[in-house]
Chains A and B, each alone.
Chain A
Amino acid sequence: DVKVTQSSRYLVKRTGEKVFLECVQDMDHENMFWYRQDPGLGLRLIYFSYDVKMKEKGDIPEGYSVSREKKERFSLILESASTNQTSMYLCASSPQGLTVAYNEQFFGPGTRLTVL
């Protein structure tokens, strides 16, 4: 059974802290994604990666960075957390290389981050 796991379901951090959100998939997928979900805005793509050590900016990369050192793990980093980064963060993965649009994405359960 395919599985995407995220390190925390709920996380509370303070403004200015460095925050790491971890995502691990066990499906040997090449592609991994980070989204944030906010009421009325749907899901917005932050970053994605189609190979180890490769990354591409999504629609809202400002304030975030990512790391993909191993195929199964994709980390989202908030260098200096701010209150406007309070959100639900969803990680996803999908198989194959550049043809991501042809493949369904498998999602983790999400991390609800609150920045105080």
Chain B
Amino acid sequence: SQQGEEDPQALSIQEGENATMNCSYKTSINNLQWYRQNSGRGLVHLILIRSNEREKHSGRLRVTLDTSKKSSSLLITASRAADTASYFCARGAWAGTASKLTFGTGTRLQVTL
């Protein structure tokens, strides 16, 4: 079953506005990662936050992690049309003999001019 769920499923904003996407999960994690996917293409890694971290920045991206609430958020500031894509959170956790990522269902972001 999916362990990471993004909210909202779809988001439409104007260029220059901020976009916030949320991710919830059910079990413990080692880290949480965010990926971007442009239409019909492969995923690109954006940022990784470890379970003992609370906030991380990368350029216009800000990720927060609240392990007590089992949730994370991705904030894109001053959005651009090029940010239009689907965004996925991925929970990194041990699974038996190894560890793996479990992806959520994604948030589709549309940034209009």
Query: A: which residues have CB within 8 A of B?
Result: 4, 33, 35, 40-45, 48, 50, 56, 58-59, 88, 90, 92, 98-102, 104-110, 112
Contacts and interface: CB of A to CB of B under 8 A. Distances in A.
A70 B13 CA distance: 46
A73 B71 CA distance: 35
B30 A105 contact: no
Interface of B: 2, 4, 30-31, 33, 35, 40-45, 48, 50, 88, 92-94, 96-106
A42 B2 CA distance: 8
Given A107-B43, A110-B42, A42 B92 contact: no
Contacts of A99: 99
A41 B5 CA distance: 10
A107 B88 CA distance: 13
B45 A104 contact: yes
